[in-house]
Structure 1
Amino acid sequence: MSTTSTRRSSQHSPIRSETTVVIDDDNTTKPEFIYGGPFIKVEKPSPFLNTATPINIQLQGTFKKSFAYYSLKERLPVILTKTIDYLAREGSKIKSAHGASDDDIRGLIQYITKLKNDLMTNKKYELLTVDTPEAKRWNEWISAAENQYYFTNVWVFSECYVYRRLIEGCELSKGLKDFDPFEEQKEKSFVNSLEAMCAVADKLVTMLDPSDKDKRKADFISLLKICLWANKCDLSLSMGEQVSMNSDGNNVKNIIDPFQMVVDFKDKLLVDDSGKIADLVVAKAEAMAKTIEGNTNLKAKCSCHRLATLAGMPLCKQECSEEQKPSEVAEATEDSQEAQPPPCPAKMTTPQTVMFDIVCDNAGYELFTDLCVANFLVSQGIVRKVRFHVKRIPWFVSDVTPKDFKHVISSCAQANYSREIPVETKPEGETEAEPEEKNSEEPRSINSNNLRSLGETWNKYVEDGTFVVMCDDFWTSPHVYKDMKRYAPHLYRSLQFTSSALFKGDLNYRKLLGERNWNPTVSFESALQGFMPTPLFALRTVKADLICGLPKGKWEQLNGIDEKWMETGDYGLIQLCAKSEALKVSDRPCPQYGDTCFGDQCATGMLMHIL
């Protein structure tokens, strides 16, 4: 076994790992002693190639000049090491917060240490041992994988597997079942971004009143770009180190202005479909509103019969609940359309309300900007509901969980921040300004008044159902999105009920593109490989070496400047696929359908699940 040296400069590796990652780069057997003869080294095939990922091949750790190799070799071990250090350093605080014991802390440290060592030595995946339906599905996927080793399987599978195993270590601990290893880092990231959030909040409140078409479009485009560059705040890429929101990465005296970042990074936005997106979101929402208004097919009667027959399941034995008499059902059907319960969503082909979906990435400042976009769409009357898809468990260091979602909104509502920026004095030796010129420049200040107001509004939106938080196990599965219909058909159908969807961040982008190293000029639509539940667009700062939709020659030009440009997060993409699959009657009964269908109660319950 040989030690693989670090190949990155500090520019691409903010944290230098003190852990040596050992994988088999020697590619020979150990010398065997032959009786009466010499030691003999026997060559064997090598799984590792000293190249970048070839075009049209899925990303994996076997290509030693790829970001996948670097991530598995260096980034993930550092993240695991930081988690171990955190448990050891803050054990008393963690025990107090969770009612855990010393044995719980020691047990989790030992679990993560073994996981790190297995990764470092490219061991075979182990099955999960926690006894849940989701863990059993994971074990099925692991067993079915063609290659079950960290470096030689598809990168996204191995990376997701490591995070899932990390959380399993918490789940198996009696006192740390609800422990989030990354909670402290996410909270610090939020606090460090307060000033940027205050600046955006001050600007957003001027955009919320209904406005004319041109201003509305311009404001929407500005918010999309703010939302894009917020994706630079990725604690997974920085291996847990806090990310500065200053456009130049340095501490400056001026107020941090994310809108200035949009200007400063203009030349680093490689694909900009924001204008097309602004038009499409409004057009699709208006078309959906007209369809809903004109729909007269809502029935009080349960509509599971035909679907149950197709699936070979029992038919409804009654068309109303035990508490509801048939005469009451008849009366309900004569009431106004608004009073009638909706049909079973498995049969619905028209949504019940105009919705917009955001598939979230990072918590903290990035989630704040997602909320700003959602607030804008609701306030402008473009949509009536926004669904936020988040991770059920802690994921990729800074990804949003339901707890993070609540924390960001409540922290905004309780924010208390104020800073005054003094007028800069001229350097010694420069001519002093005239008295009247001196007094013409007022000190600049920033505070959290508007941020608190937004937080209070968002709390109300959550309470009244305008903002809905959803988490599906598919988002923390190892599967790419072209396979969603196979592994999570209910989620795919749920996405079909929205007017359009925004996918945030690099992991979502990798899964949208099937973790495949496309030719950089291949269109975004082609790279989706048929994943089109609704018109969708992706906002992503480039943090992994796969991309699509670039103008001819752009990839070669950037590669000539810096061969690692795709790993820094300094470049961005806003890409649109306007096509979508039509919403049809499902070929499956709703997931909550059982031996007995309880009429409109079945329909109403499932409606809440899918919408």
Structure 2
Amino acid sequence: MSSPKESRSQASTAVSVENTSEVDESTKPDFIYGGPFIKVEKPNPFIDTATPINLQLQGTFKKSFAYYSLRERMPVILTKVIDYLSREGNKIKTKHGATDEDVRSLIQYINKLKNDLITNKKYDPLTVDTPEARNWNKWIEETDSQCYFLNTWVFTECYVYRRLREGCELTNGLQNFDPFDEQKERSFQNSLEPMCVVAEKLTTMLQNGDKDKRKADFVTLLKICLWANKCDLSLSMGEQVSLKSDVLNNDANKTTTPCMGTIDPFQMILDLKDKVLVDESSKIYDRVIAKAEVMAKAISAEPEVQSVSSEKGSPTASPPVEEETKEGEELPKIPCPSKMTTPDAVMFDIVCDNAGYELFSDLCLAHFLIAQEIVQKVRFHVKKIPWFVSDVTPNDFKYVIESCRTADYKKEMALEIQPEAPEGEAPENARSVLNADTLRQLGEAWTKFLEDGTFVVMCDDFWTSPHVYKDMKKYDPNLYRKLQFAVAVLFKGDLNYRKLLGERNCNPTLGFEAALQGFMPAPLIALRTVKADLICGLPKGKFEQLNKFDEKWMEKGDYGVIQFCPKSEALKPSDRPCAEYGAECRGVVCAQH
């Protein structure tokens, strides 16, 4: 297996994207026909500049992170998948019941994908025959530029990961293969220590306390979630990422981070206080509490069971249920979801980013919201397929909870000697043992939350589409409507942030609400450590100040933002059919409701 340094070198020197292939001199017209001929200068789409303001990010701007990512990072990520298949082929075949031919054909497929990427070829259409793949082919045809570097960065990145998935789908034995499972599992195991630290402290946060303590705990957990977003295996090209605050030492030349070491995530919040460029966490708490209380009152005011003779056409009226019932027993009747204007529970949504420690932190926040009776249900939106190396899939969600439930970790830790201790005498608890007992208890609780519906895992296709969020209503109106039932929607990480901003390099001082370009299904929260060169909501002059200090500050994840848009579109009865119950809306006479 080649080292990361060798892989990166191979990817960056393989072929120049401006010159898409190495040409044999003997095949040139000058050689064959005895030239020389008049040279015709072709326009070069690549510009030696950063992404201009108000343009979308794409690989044509050679001083942009998009160009670097497509030229350097993504080829290395694909090379590491090839290395994994070569190195662990026997283990992978045994686990999935695959053959040598399956592994061989997938390696060949990924090799071609990587070569097409670094030589800036046109996108190939997907060949698997599914509705989702046909949609992809339609979107490719509709794009203005169908080459890897010439289209928007987000479209190309999403396309590469979708093609990587197709490579698995086209084999007989690797259709359920996750090319990043080994990296994600190692990342989880390397994070056990900070998870145990957070788990111990969380138990005190789950208990009833006064309003001030509850608000302080919410803000703390929100910041735990923010800095957990540093654990992004896509940014690090699969290398294990550190949470140590000493890596954030303002070294402009630092490009890699060491493996996870001893750390107190709560101390990290204090150490990195000045690294949070926008912090609206206090406002978020106040608005979430207020919205949750209003929603709870609206739900309690709704009749528990609507009669069949309810006013015709009412959005809360329930239709007859065409199912067999025992004599004297009446099945509950509920309104059609497409006609509901009040949710059936107070819900908070989290659009997840990375698995491992970051998902663990999201689960801690969700548990707090449930335990403090702020909301009744938390919905987690995850990716249906392996995505951007470490993004959460349904399998990752189960793995993290089960691994917490069965965690085995123990470490003796020295405590700081208190100054009031008598000279020469150590306090009784000079040493303490950090273990996974509390972590296992959380895993048990989260398992029950999944079983009883308190935690809900959702994986709509839209999250693995190339579309930015201002276009969600156009491409997936049903998902947009689902989000409207939430008290608030928390978007985690850099990819979600880019899609929230429409992949547009807006003016850094533009407000978060304006940057959303009309995407307001519910109050929106964005937690993101900065790993791409676009941002909004900064105080005047801050962007220029940071650029003078370090031109690459937006690419490292050293800084973070906690931003909030309280506005939301009113939830009205839908004029579209209910996605879960057929192609035709039958209103109050729907047999399913």
Letter in 1 for 2:488: S
Is 1:33 paired with 2:30?
yes
- Residue pair 1:388, 1:468 contacting (<8 A) in 2 also: yes
- Residue pair 2:191, 2:260 contacting (<8 A) in 1 also: no
- The Cα shift of 1:247 comes to 1.7
Give me the whole-angstrom Cα distance separating, in 2, the residues matched to 1:259 and 1:224: 11
- Residue pair 1:302, 1:319 contacting (<8 A) in 2 also: no
2:15 to 16, 19, 22: 22
- Residue pair 2:241, 2:258 contacting (<8 A) in 1 also: no
Partner of 1:115: 113
- The Cα shift of 1:294 comes to 1.3
Partner of 1:484: 472
- Residue pair 1:61, 1:152 contacting (<8 A) in 2 also: yes
Is 1:278 paired with 2:288?
no
Is 1:391 paired with 2:383?
yes
1:260 to 263, 267, 283: 267
- The Cα shift of 1:146 comes to 1.1
Q: Deviations over 1:344-394 (max 9, x none)?
A: 011111111100000000000000000000000000000000000000000
- Residue pair 2:380, 2:458 contacting (<8 A) in 1 also: yes
CA-based RMSD of the aligned residues comes to 3.0
Structure 1 pair 600–236 and aligned structure 2 pair: CA distance change class (3 A): farther
Q: How does 1:67-466 map to 2 (within 5 A)?
A: 67-249=65-247, 255-296=262-303, 299-301=306-308, 319-321=320-322, 323=324, 340-422=332-414, 436-438=424-426, 442-466=430-454
Q: Deviations over 1:198-254 (max 9, x none)?
A: 000000000001221100000000000000000000000000000112221488999
Letter in 2 for 1:564: K
SS in 2 for 1:575: strand
Give me the whole-angstrom Cα distance separating, in 1, the residues matched to 2:582 and 2:69: 43
Q: Deviations over 1:505-547 (max 9, x none)?
A: 0000000000000000000000000100000100000000000
Give me the whole-angstrom Cα distance separating, in 1, the residues matched to 2:405 and 2:9: 38
Q: Deviations over 1:260-305 (max 9, x none)?
A: 1111111110000000011111111111001111124963549999
2:52 to 43, 51, 54: 54
- Residue pair 1:84, 1:112 contacting (<8 A) in 2 also: yes
Give me the whole-angstrom Cα distance separating, in 1, the residues matched to 2:35 and 2:121: 33
SS in 1 for 2:50: coil
Percent identity between the two aligned chains: 66
1:555 to 543, 548, 551: 543
Give me the whole-angstrom Cα distance separating, in 1, the residues matched to 2:244 and 2:432: 17
Q: Deviations over 1:38-95 (max 9, x none)?
A: 3433211011000000000000000000000001001000000000000000000000
SS in 1 for 2:348: strand
Partner of 2:250: none
Give me the whole-angstrom Cα distance separating, in 2, the residues matched to 1:64 and 1:286: 50
Structure 1 pair 423–258 and aligned structure 2 pair: CA distance change class (3 A): closer
- Residue pair 2:494, 2:530 contacting (<8 A) in 1 also: yes
Is 1:588 paired with 2:586?
no
2:509 to 521, 534, 548: 521
SS in 2 for 1:454: helix
SS in 2 for 1:173: coil
- The Cα shift of 1:440 comes to 6.7
- Residue pair 2:288, 2:488 contacting (<8 A) in 1 also: yes
- Residue pair 1:57, 1:517 contacting (<8 A) in 2 also: yes
SS in 2 for 1:345: coil
- Residue pair 1:304, 1:344 contacting (<8 A) in 2 also: no
Q: Deviations over 1:392-446 (max 9, x none)?
A: 0000000000000000001001011000135799xxxxxxx98524557702331
SS in 1 for 2:522: coil
Partner of 1:507: 495
Letter in 2 for 1:33: D
Give me the whole-angstrom Cα distance separating, in 2, the residues matched to 1:252 and 1:533: 39
Kindly tell me the number of residue pairs found equivalent between the two proteins: 569
Structure 1 pair 142–416 and aligned structure 2 pair: CA distance change class (3 A): same
Q: Deviations over 1:82-121 (max 9, x none)?
A: 0000000000000010000000000000000000000010
- Residue pair 1:48, 1:62 contacting (<8 A) in 2 also: yes
Letter in 1 for 2:355: A
Letter in 2 for 1:356: F
SS in 2 for 1:45: coil
Question: More deviation in 485-494 or 22-31?
Answer: 22-31
SS in 1 for 2:424: helix
- Residue pair 2:168, 2:176 contacting (<8 A) in 1 also: yes
Is 1:475 paired with 2:463?
yes
SS in 1 for 2:551: coil
- The Cα shift of 1:555 comes to 0.2
Structure 1 pair 36–503 and aligned structure 2 pair: CA distance change class (3 A): closer
- Residue pair 1:301, 1:600 contacting (<8 A) in 2 also: no
Give me the whole-angstrom Cα distance separating, in 2, the residues matched to 1:440 and 1:252: 33
Give me the whole-angstrom Cα distance separating, in 1, the residues matched to 2:105 and 2:227: 39
- Residue pair 1:343, 1:600 contacting (<8 A) in 2 also: no
1:566 to 520, 530, 554: 554
Give me the whole-angstrom Cα distance separating, in 2, the residues matched to 1:356 and 1:252: 33
Give me the whole-angstrom Cα distance separating, in 1, the residues matched to 2:352 and 2:140: 26
Structure 1 pair 274–167 and aligned structure 2 pair: CA distance change class (3 A): same
Letter in 2 for 1:512: L
- Residue pair 2:234, 2:389 contacting (<8 A) in 1 also: yes
Give me the whole-angstrom Cα distance separating, in 1, the residues matched to 2:311 and 2:145: 41
Question: More deviation in 559-568 or 434-443?
Answer: 434-443
- Residue pair 1:533, 1:581 contacting (<8 A) in 2 also: yes
Structure 1 pair 346–208 and aligned structure 2 pair: CA distance change class (3 A): same
- Residue pair 1:542, 1:566 contacting (<8 A) in 2 also: yes
SS in 2 for 1:445: strand
Q: Deviations over 1:169-190 (max 9, x none)?
A: 0011100000000000000000
Q: Deviations over 1:21-50 (max 9, x none)?
A: 423436999975396753433211011000
